[in-house]
Amino acid sequence: MKQEGKRSIWNDYQKEIADDKFYYVRSCIRQNFFPGSETAFLKILREVLEKDVFDDRHHTTCTGIGYHAEVVPLETTMTVVGRNFALMKEAGYQNYVPSCVTSFGIYTEILDSWHHFPEVEARARENLDKATGRTFEIPGNLAHTSDIIFKFRNEIAAKAKYMLVNKTTGKPLRVVDHIGCHYAKMFPQKGIGGAEYPYVLAGMVEAWGGEVIDYPERRHCCGFGFRQYLVKANRGYSISCSKKKFESMEPEKPDFIIANCPGCAYFLDRWQYALAEMEGKTYGEDGHGIPSLTYEEVAGLVLGFDPWELGLQLHQVPVESLLKKMGVAYDPESKFRGANGEDLGQPESPLNLKFYE
C-alpha cells in the first residue's frame, strides 16, 4: 500500500486527547523494568510542557496481570477500576492517563462493557460502595501516556536538544516502532491510527527527525503475553515470537526499537540476551543488540535529559551506540553510579551479547 493510503487510514482513526489536567496512573511492572520512564514522563509534562499532572499515591493496580492470568475475576477487576476512577473524582480530575498498555486495555474493555451492559456497571458501583463507600464517575477522557506524548510531539520537537539523526552521516536514524497489542488491537478506534496502522509512535519518530522502518513482522506480537511468560515452560513461545520479529527487522538494520508497552520494551530488550546465550545469535552491529527504548526515554534523550537519569543503564542491550549516533553527551564513568554518586558495581558481561565496548 502506498504511504498516502496509510496516511489516509491513519486519519480515520484519530482520537480525542485531553490537553491538560491529567490524572496519572502508574504501571505495576514499568517501575521495575524501566524505572526512569515514568519519572521522565512526569518531568516532561510538568517541567517542559508545564501541564498539571496529579500522581496519586493512593491508586492501585488495575489487576491486569491477575485478570489475564485468570486469578482475578472480572467483577473484582471492575470494582478496583471503579475505585481508581473514584479516586480521580475525589482529586477533582477527569482525564485518566494510565502508563501501562495492559491497563489501557483493561480500562477500554471495562468502559465498553459498561456502555453496552449498564447493569454490569451498576453491579460494580454497588460492589464498590459496599467495599469502600466510594462512588465514581466515568472519565471524561481516557488516553494512554504515549497518546499524551504523541499529542505534544511537536512541542517536544521545538524544544529538542538532539534529534533522531545520525550526527556523523546527517541521515535520519532508522527506527522500528512496536505497539503493544492491548493498545489498539482490541479496540482499534481507541488508538491513534487504529490496529492496522497505529501512528502513535511513528508520529513521534517522524516529528523528532527519525525514519520509521516498515518490515514484514511489524505488527506481530512481541510474545510478552502473560500466559506465555508467567509459566516457564511456555516461555519458548514468547521468545519465538520475539525472534521472528528480530529476524524480520534485522535486514533493515534498525538503529533502535521504540515501544509503548511495558512488556514489549522489556522483552524486546531481554530476549536479545536470551537468544544470544541460547543460539549465539545477535541482531545489532558487531555482536551488539538493537537498543530497545520506551517512548519516554526517547523523548527524554531528544530533550537532552541525562541518559543515566533516564535509567538507560538498566537496559540489557547497551544504548551507547545510539547515544553516539545522536551525539548525546554522557559520562561513561557514571553509568553504574547511584543517585549520590556511589559505585553500584558493574554487571557481569554476557557470553555472546556484547555489553561493554
SS3 assignment for 318-334: CCHHHHHHHCCCCCHHH
Indicate whether 237 belongs to the interface with other proteins (CB under 8 A).
yes
Candidate residues 1, 71, 131, 278; the one interacting with other proteins per rule CB under 8 A: 278
Q: Is 223 or 284 the residue whose CB approaches other proteins more closely?
A: 223
Residue numbers 328-357 binding other proteins by CB under 8 A: 351
Q: Dump the DSSP string for 119-171.
A: HHHHHHHHHHHHHHS------SEE--HHHHHHHTHHHHHHT-SS-SB-TTT-P
Interaction mask 171-190, other proteins, x per CB under 8 A: --------------------
Residue 141 burial (CB < 10 Å; 0-12/13-18/19+)? middle
Q: At its nearest, how many Å lie between other proteins and the CB of residue 237?
A: 5
- Encode 103-122: b = buried (16+ Cβ within 10 Å), e = exposed: bbbbbbbbbeebeeeeebbe
For residue 323 the three cell numbers come to 547515544
Which residue number, 236 or 327, has a Cβ lying nearer to other proteins?
Answer: 236
Minimum distance, C-beta of residue 294 to other proteins, in the bound complex (Å): 25
- Pattern of binders to other proteins over 238-277, x per CB under 8 A? -xx--xx-----------------------------x--x
**Cβ-contact 299, 45 below 8 angstroms:** no
Give the shortest CB-175-to-other proteins separation in angstroms: 25
- Min separation Cβ 252 and other proteins, Å: 18
Greatest alpha-carbon pair distance for the chain in Å reads: 64
- Mask for 33-72, x = binds other proteins (CB under 8 A): ----------------------------------------
Q: Closest by alpha carbon to 266, among 32, 28, 42, 26?
A: 32
Compute the least distance from the CB of residue 357 to other proteins, in Å.
Answer: 23
Nearer to other proteins, 14 or 240 (CB): 240
Distance, in Å, from the CA atom of 355 to the CA atom of 256, rounded to the nearest integer, reads: 16
Please check whether residue 6 is in contact with residue 14, taking contact to mean a CB–CB distance below 8 angstroms: no
C-alpha cell at 329: 553527551
CB of 273 to other proteins, least distance (A): 10
Q: How far is the CB of 217 from other proteins (least distance, A)?
A: 9
Q: Which is nearer to other proteins, 76 or 352 (CB)?
A: 352
Question: What are residue 345's DSSP bridge partners?
Answer: none
Report in angstroms how near the CB of residue 102 gets to other proteins at its nearest: 22
Least distance in angstroms from the C-beta of 255 to other proteins: 26
Judged by CB under 8 A, how many residues of this single chain contact other proteins?
A: 16
Nearer residue to other proteins within complex by CB, 2 or 232 = 232
Q: Which is nearer to other proteins, 187 or 237 (CB)?
A: 237
Q: Which of 184, 201, 194, 204 is nearest to 12 (CA)?
A: 194
Strands 256-259 and 174-178, how do they pair?
parallel
**Alpha helices (H) in the chain, listed in sequence order:** 3-12, 30-33, 35-43, 64-68, 74-91, 101-116, 118-132, 145-151, 153-158, 181-184, 200-207, 226-229, 235-249, 262-279, 295-303, 320-326
Pick 131 or 278: Cβ nearer other proteins: 278
DSSP state of 284: S
- Give 6 or 235: the residue with its C-beta nearer to other proteins: 235
* Interaction site with other proteins (CB under 8 A): 232-237, 239-240, 243-244, 274, 277-280, 351
